[in-house]
Structure 1
Amino acid sequence: MLQTYSIIVTGKVQGVFYRQSTKERAHDLNLTGYVKNLPDGTVLIMASGTTEQLLQLVIWCRKGPARAKVEEVKVETVAPAVFMGFRIER
């Protein structure tokens, strides 16, 4: 069953390849959606897939790429959305 998560990641998550690494991980997990930097210094991820796929992404988000220092990951289930692939939004 398709689900969509809205994930907000706080900490040192901009300028450390968090978006690119998220895109690569999402592709590995066969998720669709997008990732983007927000003006407040956080990263927003909207991802659709199975519960198991999404939980694997959330686990990865808590660590992120090597240079990231994740402080918090907020996850919210939102209305299911259909995306074409997984992309980085500006």
Structure 2
Amino acid sequence: MGDIAKLCRIRGKVQGVWYRAWTVEQAEARGLTGWVRNRADGSVEALFAGPPDKVADMIAACHQGPRAARVVDVAVEDFAGDIPEGFAQTSDT
């Protein structure tokens, strides 16, 4: 089975708690590509692409996040757009 890509919207206390930097570290450790950014509504949005088991593991980790985060929901959908090289923190939306 080939690589997959999932777009995630993480809600809760996820801004101002190093969630994006934590996400970059965690995704890179799993060899994933994609990006993470803050949303104007206070959520964090992330794209994870790579082997299905690694993507699933990353999504599971997002339910916890870094120590100061308080995640209340992680919404996941399939993604069919362009996948960047590497994993980066991008501009807020």
Same fold (TM > 0.5): yes
The answer for the alignment partner of 1:43 in structure 2 is 44
The answer for the alignment partner of 1:14 in structure 2 is 15
Name the CA distance, whole Å, in 2 between partners of 1:75 and 1:15.
Answer: 22
> Following TM superposition, where does structure 1 have runs of at least 4 consecutive aligned residues deviating by more than 3 angstroms?
none
Task: Count matched residues.
Answer: 90
Corresponding position: 1:64 with 2:65:
yes
Name the CA distance, whole Å, in 2 between partners of 1:40 and 1:5.
Answer: 20
Supply the RMSD in Å over aligned alpha carbons.
0.9
Shift of 1:47: 1.3
The answer for the alignment partner of 1:27 in structure 2 is 28
Name the CA distance, whole Å, in 1 between partners of 2:54 and 2:81.
Answer: 14
Structure 1 spans left out of the alignment, 5+ residues: none
In structure 1, the residue corresponding to 2:42 is in which secondary structure?
A: coil
In structure 1, the residue corresponding to 2:84 is in which secondary structure?
A: coil
Structure 2 spans left out of the alignment, 5+ residues: none
State whether residues 16 and 68 of structure 1, in contact with CA within 8 Å, keep that contact through their aligned partners in structure 2: yes
The share of aligned pairs that are identical, in percent, is: 34
